[in-house]
Structure 1
Amino acid sequence: MKSITSGNWDAASTWSCNCVPTKNDNVIIKTGHSVKTTNGYLCRNLEVEKGGSVEILGTFLAEASAPISPNLYLGQPTKPNDTTDLLMVKPQFVLSYNNTKRHANWVSWELSTSWLGTSDRQNDFRPDSTLKQGWYRVVTSDYTNSGFDRGHLCPSADRTKSEEDNSATFLMTNIAPQAPVLNREPWAYLEEYCRNVVKTGYRAVIIAGMDGSGGAGTNGSMQRINGKINVPSKLYKIVVFYPEQGSITTSSTVIAANFPNTNEANQDVSWLKYVTTIKDIESSVTGVDFLSSLPMPLQTVLKNKKFDVANAGFDVEATVRTYNGKPLLVGPRGGCYYINSNGNKTYVDRSFCGN
């Protein structure tokens, strides 16, 4: 739908449909029109034409503004600048790129069943040609023999609706140096849990990011790969779930986890061990403000929530770690078990599954 005059977002007379846009609509602010709103998540996509403007929650957007994307439902955690925080908006995710560190500061994306399908993993790691001219474009061979995985931030398995969507996750701007044990076990198990929850009637908005310098992979500790790519000391993930036909409220389930980027710290360890709060991650990562698009009272509640898998309200098993070579799971009511050779559950002490 399009604006037909200047006015308030919530006034039907502002719009070509004579109705108020919903979060599923694509909206265009036409040239010469100024629209004001105090709401947060306005629509699915927003385009502001040259000479048009929209004021959202006190933030003024004019022509050439980055489109408001469902992948940025939680807002931008950082303020863009020229070299260390370049905002890159893609159909599949939104990221903040750091040309000094040569990896993203964070990547934000929406996860819902509309993004999930049957497309195969494309595995086409490649430089991102949309980086600024003159900036170094990381290539897949930069990681070869480094001892670190080419770790996805927005996972390949979160974008399987089409080959194009899956391929986008292999852009090197969506990749960071991850200790192999972290990437293949706790980090991967948390990714899988999010997808399994979404398949039961939920949406999620996810932010994955990193901080610091100095991790430890297969070849030991390292600050930078070949003097080019910063190796983060921590990688974090923030997830907010809400009903597929609903919105984010104080009842929404939140997962915040902050992982050390080393093999040793993640060997035979449950991802639940690293669960914390959004507030704690904000305190440890310089210059971030999460959930900035949400009303302040709602932000306060969500930032102080700490995830409890047994009381999350989801009828979903969570794979949390490996145990004697088998995936160890936590059931919806908190039981800790693995599936034995007979296909039955063998329960173990809850401490093996983490907190």
Structure 2
Amino acid sequence: MKAFLYSGLFLGLTVVIAGCGSNTTDDPIPGPVLAVSQHLTLGNPSGATTDASQPTNYLLVKPQYALSYHRDRGTPNWVSWHLTSADLGSASRQDDFRADNTLPTGWYQVQSTSYTGSGFDRGHNCPSADRTATVADNSATFLMTNMIPQAPHNNQRTWANLENYTRTLVSTTQEVYVIMGSYGKGGTGSNGAQSTIDQGRVTVPARIWKVVVVLPIGDNDASRVTTSTRIIAIDTPNDNTVSSNWGSYRTTVDAIEVATGLDLLSAVSASVQSTVESRVDTGPTQ
């Protein structure tokens, strides 16, 4: 918890102009549209805005998730999304990895082939399986602005296990908020250690983290986070020798904030944050 709130945050909702500062888009929200993103209900961790003069903290809001993009790293700083039972349907995995042409004109767009031969997976932040209500929702998760270079075992074992577990927490009576990000430079994939890929245009992160907030179904979600709310925070090395047991990487929200400089859960009351952000989850892992 940090002792400030970011501009643009009002009653736990962030108001943005979708498409502002962008070129032609394939985003389901066409043109400049005033939007209040449910995915930022618990806060905007870095105060990201749609100001193209802030290329290391550029806000992208999709109907399916919101993120802060770092142009110079070619990856998101963080991705945030709300997950309910309505998001889980029968749409198949689209596998249509592609560049995100909603980025400001002139910015390099990471391509579907940018990770080819690197030894790293195109690792989703917001997972494909979290968005299966419609084909369009699933397809949106394959934009390269939602990807990081992720060690294959980290992606396919550790994170897959956590993602699967998170979806079991969602029901007709329970919802979750998820924030995921990465930091540092240099990971170890199937071809060994690397700091960058795509001719230096994409940074390989050293660490990958996630925070999961579990709530009963209801309204005014930020105000319903209490000192007894279950919050899972994990931080793993981006390494191919990582354990498949995500529970062994549990940490505190405070520790992630110290490592990243972010202000997570900033829309939650300060008194609640001081308790829940200093606590390591001890709940089940499957």
Q: TM-score range by the shorter chain?
A: 0.7 to 0.9
Distance 2:64 2:98 in 1: 16
Q: Which residue of 2 aligns with 1:72?
A: 40
Give 1:14-163 correspondences, 5 Å limit.
40-41=11-12, 67-80=35-48, 82-163=54-135
2:205 is the alignment partner of 1:232: yes
Give the structure-2-normalised TM-score. Answer: 0.84
1:68, distance to aligned residue in structure 2 (A): 2.8
Q: Which residue of 2 aligns with 1:348?
A: none
Give 1:122-271 correspondences, 5 Å limit.
122-199=94-171, 201-225=173-197, 226-245=199-218, 247-264=224-241, 266-267=242-243, 269-271=244-246
Show structure 1 runs of 4+ deviating over 3 A.
45-48, 64-67
Q: CA RMSD in A?
A: 2.0
How many residue pairs match? The answer is 255
Q: 2:249 aligns with which of 267, 274, 292?
A: 274
More divergent stretch after superposition (129-138 vs 75-84): 75-84
Distance 2:104 2:120 in 1: 26
% identical aligned pairs: 43
Give CA deviations for 1:1-57 in whole Å, capped at 9, x if unaligned.
xxxxxxxxxxxxxxxxxxxxxxxxxxxxxxxxxxxxx97336xx9689xxxxxxxxx
Q: Alpha carbons of 1:39 and 1:164: their partners in 2 closer, same or farther (altered >3 Å)? A: closer
Distance 1:234 1:241 in 2: 23
Q: Alpha carbons of 1:139 and 1:254: their partners in 2 closer, same or farther (altered >3 Å)? A: same
In the alignment, structure 1 segments of 5+ residues that lack a partner are: 1-37, 49-63, 311-316, 319-355
SS across alignment from 2:178: strand
Distance 2:56 2:34 in 1: 18
Q: Which residue of 1 aligns with 2:26?
A: none
Letter in 2 for 1:258: D
Distance 2:215 2:233 in 1: 15
In the alignment, structure 2 segments of 5+ residues that lack a partner are: 1-8, 18-31
